Amino acid sequence: MDAHDIEHRFAFRAASRQEKRDEHTSARQSCRALADHLNELLPDGREKRLAITKLEEVLFWANAALARA
């Protein structure tokens, strides 16, 4: 992996346009809505905790995709 790739992966990218901030908000709201639904639907336990954790990962990668675009 070269230095440019490392920089690309770890550089901070502030959402400079309102449109970009709105996209981040939309992704966050969608993931939150699904998290709320799963929290009500699924029984407590390891699988539920993993499902919510993976949903956090979805939000992370969605935000990364939006920021890096």
Higher pLDDT pick, 24 / 9 = 24
Could you tell me if 67 and 21 are in contact, meaning their C-beta atoms sit under 8 angstroms apart?
no
Predicted confidence at residue 32, as pLDDT, reads 95
Higher pLDDT pick, 51 / 69 = 51
* Residue range 56-61: mean pLDDT, rounded: 95
Q: Lowest mean pLDDT of 1-15, 16-30, 49-63, name the range.
A: 1-15
Predicted confidence at residue 64, as pLDDT, reads 93
pLDDT > 70: percent of the chain: 100
